[in-house]
Amino acid sequence: MITLPIQHPQLKSGFDSPLIEKAMNYAVNCHSSTNHYYNNYPYSFHLQMVYNMGCQFAHLLDPKEIEPALAACWVHDTIEDCRQTYNDVKTACGLQVAEIAYALTNEKGRNRKERANEQYYEGIRTTPCAVFVKLCDRLANASYSKVTGGSMLNAYRTENELFIEKLGTHPYTEMVDALRDCVC
């Protein structure tokens, strides 16, 4: 699942490209400049886990989707967490990556349920590769919580079947099975 800890974000051989490298550097800089952390780690730790999940499951993607999906693994939280706009992401990483990041940006809300409402999931379901990146994100978060005994593991367990249902029909059954195994 995950390896703790990582020192510096890095791309995996065979899953690198100028776009993915640009997305990695952009996202790491955005999160760093806003002092965003993942528990006691720089936020790049989480981004690396999401990207690693993307690499692990890239075989489920159409070959032309791999590059934008892996780039989006890096930038998926930049709009939501780093005061970046859709246009900022589009300028830095292109239209496809910006669309995925936008789809994965929570709605305004007072709690998790309000932030991840039906409009949020509709955007994920209708944006190419967004379901894949969202599953990478959830797998990274759930794996980290399981390895560290994190408090969010119970939330992921409670939400899991509804979360899977809200993602709709997609070709990522292998990822869903991995997520179910992780949270059980």
Question: For the segment 44-101, what is each residue's pLDDT rounded down to a tens digit?
Answer: 999 999 999 999 999 999 999 999 999 999 999 999 999 999 999 999 999 999 999 9
User: What is residue 172's predicted lDDT score, i.e. its pLDDT?
Assistant: 98
Domains, the chain: 18-183 (1.10.3210.10)
Q: Give yes or no for residue 6 having a pLDDT over 80.
A: no
Give the mean model confidence (pLDDT) for residues 161-181. 97
Could you tell me which of 126, 103, 129, 107 has the C-alpha nearest to residue 116? 107
Q: List Cα–Cα distances, 159 to 11, 80, 164, 179, in angstroms.
A: 31, 21, 9, 12
What average pLDDT is seen over the chain? 94
Q: Report pTM.
A: 0.95
